[in-house]
């Protein structure tokens, strides 16, 4: 007989990479190739968890539209940090993604990974 775990549906999550991107030495020691670190991190994600590969997001070619038709020519920041990029992954539990995120290269520069589940229109959780 199958366990209940086998019947848990995979759910899509977006991982938002937040931070102040620095192209300098991010490790505090030996210089690292940040793009190589990202490639290696993504390659380490099991294929069954991969969704949309995602992308880096531009800072210079961005704007924010606010109420009353106010437009600012920069992304929204939180304490000077902004969303640098994203990827979409699938998992049965958010804990799987927390584990994967602990080795994300954005953490090398003091950034963070925000993990959020996608909801359907009738799912308000």
Low-confidence ranges of the chain (pLDDT < 70): 1-7, 21-32, 124-125
Give the residue numbers spanning the domain of 92: 9-117
In three-state secondary structure terms, 7 is helix
In whole angstroms, what is the distance from residue 59 CA to residue 64 CA? 11
| 109/27 Cα distance (integer angstroms) | 7
Query: Does residue 122 sit within a domain?
Result: no
Q: Does some domain include residue 44?
A: yes
| Residue 60 within a domain | yes
In a domain, 82, yes or no: yes
pLDDT tens column, 10-45: 899 999 999 875 544 445 555 568 888 989 999 999
Residue 102 lies in a domain: yes
Is residue 50 domain-resident? yes
pLDDT value of position 104: 95
User: Phi-psi category of 50—alpha, beta or left, where left has phi over 0 and alpha has psi -120 to 50?
Assistant: beta
Tell me how many domains the chain contains. 1
Helix, coil or strand: residue 85: strand
CATH of residue 29's domain is 3.30.70.1060
Structure tokens at 107: 């953490």
């Amino acid at each position: 007989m199958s366990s209940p775990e086998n019947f848990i549906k995979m759910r899509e999550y977006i991982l938002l990479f937040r931070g102040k991107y620095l192209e300098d030495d991010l490790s505090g020691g030996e210089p690292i190739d940040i793009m190589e670190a990202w490639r290696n991190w993504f390659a380490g994600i099991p294929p069954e968890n991969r969704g949309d590969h995602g992308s880096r997001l531009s800072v210079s070619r961005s704007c924010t539209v606010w109420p009353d038709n106010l437009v600012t020519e920069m992304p929204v920041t939180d304490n000077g940090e902004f969303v640098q990029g994203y990827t979409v992954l699938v998992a049965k539990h958010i804990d799987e993604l927390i584990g994967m995120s602990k080795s994300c290269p954005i953490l090398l520069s003091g950034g963070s990974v925000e993990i959020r589940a996608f909801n359907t229109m009738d799912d308000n959780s």
